Amino acid sequence: MGVDELLVTVPATSANLGPGFDAMGLALGLYDEVRVTPLREAGLELEIDGEGADEVPRDDSHLVVRTLLITMERLGARPPPGLRLHCTNRIPHGRGLGSSAAATVAGVLAGRALADDGAARRPVEDAIALAAEIEGHPDNVAACLLGGLTIAWREGERVFAVRLDPDPELEAIALVPVQRLATETARGLLPATVPHDDASHNVGRAALLVEALTRRTDLLLPATEDRLHQGYRAAAMPETAALVERLRSAGHAAVVSGAGPGVLVLTSAQTHPDLSLVPANWTTLRLPVAAGGARVEQGRPNG
């Protein structure tokens, strides 16, 4: 039994959210789509529209394709002789909005759907663990898969995540610069150790952030204060650091989105941040929180 076609839809995400470094993630209402068609003849046909269309590879090193094949191998399933993929990319690349996590999750879900009973045989926790293994950290992939607000953690080699319902009034404004920053570059700027006072500060603010995101949006400004990672990365994205400082000084809960250099402003539907503080060459995206995570729609069965 197989499928004629799959449509995988994956949301953008923002990780860290200030103090929740490598643990907290939020799904956002901006979506990439991947249409997957199994082929009876060998070969790979890859069409890409939107973000990265002129840059990403067109062979099996493409992240969605590579992840799809890894997933089927882990499930002990044989991939179809050929594949046709049509990717519609709306999530900005290299700006801290989870574009690589979205591609990874799309590949994992497509591989599970193409394998006979793949999704039924393995729980969603396995999908999170495999996506985190490929992505390198679980915060974005957990939010992409589960939607809403997620908290992810590791126990040895195992990965876990829980989903929480954000406050219905919560919204996010993504501020997207022209320049990009590779996650590997941003992570390389972090020190091996931090002062105990800074670690203690972030523990308290991360705990407060859960309350702020789920019930008390009036607490977003103090709850998003970070000492663990943003300051160490500022030299690599000075315009981002300056914008976060201007926005926070004006009373807005601004944070570096993921590894940057994008900025996320957490707000409520009734609040209108002063966007005149944003440089003219940045793109502003006012986004709802995505209550649902990634989803797969299957075409008619064949065979």
Assess whether pLDDT exceeds 50 at residue 227: yes
Tell me the pLDDT of the chain averaged across its residues: 93
2 burial (CB, 10 Å; 0-12 / 13-18 / 19+) is: middle
Specify the DSSP element, H or E, that contains 101: helix 99-114
pTM of the model: 0.93
Give the pLDDT confidence of 258-286 residue by residue, as tens digits. Answer: 999 999 999 987 787 888 999 999 999 99
Cα–Cα distance, 14 to 88 (Å, whole number): 20
Residues 99 and 247 in one domain: no
Residues 153 and 181 in one domain: no
Contact between 134 and 70 (Cβ < 8 Å): yes
Give the pLDDT confidence of 254-263 residue by residue, as tens digits. Answer: 999 999 999 9
- We report the CATH number of the domain holding residue 115 as 3.30.230.10
Residues 180 and 276 in one domain: yes
pLDDT number for residue 303: 39
Our CA dihedral for 124, 129, 134, 139, rounded to 10 degrees, sits at: 90
How many separate domains does the chain show? 2
Cα–Cα distance, 129 to 134 (Å, whole number): 9
Residues 73 and 221 in one domain: no
Cα–Cα distance, 262 to 29 (Å, whole number): 16
pLDDT number for residue 117: 74
Residues 161 and 81 in one domain: yes
Question: Which residues does 177 contact at the CB level (< 8 Å), separation at least 6?
Answer: 95, 239, 240, 261, 262, 279, 281, 282
Contact between 177 and 262 (Cβ < 8 Å): yes
Cα–Cα distance, 77 to 43 (Å, whole number): 18
Assess whether pLDDT exceeds 70 at residue 301: no
Residues 15 and 151 in one domain: yes
Give the pLDDT confidence of 27-83 residue by residue, as tens digits. Answer: 999 999 999 999 999 999 999 999 988 888 899 999 999 999 999 999 999 999 999
Residues 21 and 159 in one domain: yes
Residues 158 and 174 in one domain: no
Residues 254 and 295 in one domain: no
Residues 132 and 38 in one domain: yes
Contact between 121 and 102 (Cβ < 8 Å): no
Residues 143-156, mean pLDDT to the nearest whole number:
96
Residues 135 and 202 in one domain: no
pLDDT number for residue 122: 74
Task: Return the minimum-mean-pLDDT range out of 2-6, 50-54, 64-68, 169-173.
Answer: 2-6
- We report the CATH number of the domain holding residue 266 as 3.30.70.890
Structural domain containing residue 268: 170-288
Residues 184 and 112 in one domain: no
Residue 50, sorted as left (phi over 0), alpha (psi -120 to 50) or beta, turns out to be: left
